[in-house]
Amino acid sequence: MPAVPTLSLPALDARPFYAYVGAGDAALETLRTRAAARAEQFKTVQAQFKTVPAQLKTVPDQLKSAPAQLKTVPEQIKTVPDQLKAVATQLQEQVKNLPALAAALPAQAKDLQASVEKRYAELAVRGEQVVAELRGGKAASTTPTKPATKKPVAKKAPVKPAAAKTPAAATPTVPAPTPATEPTPQAGTTPASNGVPTQPATS
């Protein structure tokens, strides 16, 4: 029977699952923080409502100062061309800086990749801790371990069947010759000397 090869499966990396759990836990924490902040802001709304009557009292004074503010509008319009020129100058400077910005893109991309990988590792550690707390144990290391390399099993050489022995040639057996038996003479006959029986004489 041929030897069955052993299969070695690679170790699975649990970091994607832990990172998913960690991202969910971080999102829940953010929601809790924002909910608590909204509750604090809602408490300040009542204090803001208390200041509304005092603000309404200042409205008549603001209306009285409106004509004086309208008189300054023509002077503000005169300054618009100068403001537009300043904006155009800023745009030209930004266009000149575009090559430098393009040259800095690879470095920024590397920094972004490094920050994403760092955040991914943090989420994986956080997710592992959450799973360990749910299981009631300690968090294990998320570093993937390399599968142990097994030495290949040497295949045994197939055993050759023994050659069948050829039967030896049988020697014919010659039967031994049986000695010829002489006929027994009947009663009343006498054997002659020449071997021929003679009849008895009748009276």
Residue pLDDT, tens place only, 41-57: 888 887 888 888 888 88
The pLDDT value given to residue 199:
53
127 pLDDT band, cuts 50/70/90, is: very high
* pLDDT confidence band for 114 (50 / 70 / 90): very high
Q: How far is CA 70 from CA 133, 164, 165, in A?
A: 67, 125, 129
Residues 64-74 have pLDDT tens digits of 888 888 888 88
Query: Among 6, 15, 5, 21, which Cα is nearest to 145's?
Result: 15
Q: Three-class SS of residue 190?
A: strand
Q: pLDDT value at position 72?
A: 87
pLDDT of 193: 47
The predicted structure's pLDDT at residue 86:
94
Q: Which two tokens stand for residue 146?
A: 């390399």
d(Cα 203, Cα 194) in Å, to the nearest integer? 25
This prediction has a pTM of 0.45
pLDDT tens, 157-202?
555 555 444 444 445 455 555 555 555 545 454 444 444 555 555 5
Cα distances (Å, whole numbers) of residue 164 to 24, 43, 160: 75, 104, 12
Which is more confident, 40 or 113?
113
Residue pair 29/123 in contact by the 8 Å Cβ criterion: no
